[in-house]
Amino acid sequence: ETGVTQTPRHLVMGMTNKKSLKCEQHLGHNAMYWYKQSAKKPLELMFVYSLEERVENNSVPSRFSPECPNSSHLFLHLHTLQPEDSALYLCASSRAAGGGDEQYFGPGTRLTVT
Amino acid sequence: GQNIDQPTEMTATEGAIVQINCTYQTSGFNGLFWYQQHAGEAPTFLSYNVLDGLEEKGRFSSFLSRSKGYSYLLLKELQMKDSASYLCAVRSPRDSNYQLIWGAGTKLIIKP
């Protein structure tokens, strides 16, 4: 238990569906992250929020839309995804964005796009 | 370009010692992390090195040489529960102060 929770843990969706991934951290951290993890590939950073402001957006397709309503919650809204978007989506938080602070990861959402 | 290299897979015997290497080529350096990830679980933090030398933490140690762009994670007295992937990540502030550059991970298999 890392103090970061994610729901749902598994999600199967069609290419025309709209769904949202939720992340919540109970650590009092100020930074939150979305990562994509595909098999045998490095973690890909998608978005970074610091104090609820988006500070990094790594050329992610617009079919992924993040939302950070407060420093404890982070959402990833999904729409018209492609099969290649199937992956493990990890949320993480840290005390601050940048620097030497370790990131605490949630268990991830295993997404399958059919 | 930015590049992190780690072996894809390693095998070791319970009770032995194993060293997992990580080499990096980045346009800047502001620290190197090691994380452990068991299959189907979240990565968990193991160590952070920003200065050259060896950092010891129980059975795990991490070494850094900035001049060589090299780090290793040393695991002693291996246990079956150490079977996991080990991820190396570098912070490169010249491109972004928020982004870690990640290796693809080394899958460590422990045999009895």
- Structure confidence by residue, pLDDT tens digits, B24-66: 998 888 899 999 999 988 999 999 999 999 999 999 999 999 9
pLDDT tier at B84 (50, 70, 90 boundaries)? Answer: very high
Q: Give me the mean pLDDT over the A15-37 stretch.
A: 94
Indicate whether A37 pLDDT > 70.
Answer: yes
Asked if the C-beta of B49 comes within 8 angstroms of chain A's C-beta atoms, the answer is no
pLDDT tier at A59 (50, 70, 90 boundaries)? Answer: confident
Beta strand spans in chain B (E): 3-5, 9-13, 18-25, 32-37, 44-49, 53-57, 60-65, 70-75, 84-91, 100-102, 106-111
pLDDT tier at B98 (50, 70, 90 boundaries)? Answer: low
Indicate whether A72 pLDDT > 60.
Answer: yes
Report the distance separating Cα B86 and Cα B103, nearest Å.
Answer: 9
Indicate whether B94 pLDDT > 70.
Answer: no
Asked if the C-beta of B78 comes within 8 angstroms of chain A's C-beta atoms, the answer is no
pLDDT tens profile A75-102: 999 999 999 999 999 999 999 877 678 9
Which residue in chain A has the smallest CA separation from B47? A102
Asked if the C-beta of B57 comes within 8 angstroms of chain A's C-beta atoms, the answer is no
- How far does the CA of residue B12 sit from the closest CA of chain A (Å)? 20
pLDDT tier at B96 (50, 70, 90 boundaries)? Answer: low
Q: Across the interface, which of A2, A48, A102 has its CB nearest the CB of B98?
A: A48
- How far does the CA of residue A1 sit from the closest CA of chain B (Å)? 9
Query: Residues B62, B23, A36, B49: is their CA dihedral positive or negative?
Result: positive
- How far does the CA of residue B46 sit from the closest CA of chain A (Å)? 9
Report the distance separating Cα B51 and Cα B32, nearest Å.
Answer: 9
Q: Across the interface, which of A2, A40, A56 has its CB nearest the CB of B42?
A: A2
Asked if the C-beta of A12 comes within 8 angstroms of chain B's C-beta atoms, the answer is no
Q: Do B98 and A97 touch (CB under 8 A)?
A: yes
Q: Is A73 exposed, middle or buried (0-12, 13-18, 19+ CB in 10 A)?
A: middle
Mean model confidence pLDDT for chain B: 93
Indicate whether B92 pLDDT > 90.
Answer: no
Which residue in chain A has the smallest CA separation from B4? A42
Q: What is the pLDDT of residue A99?
A: 65
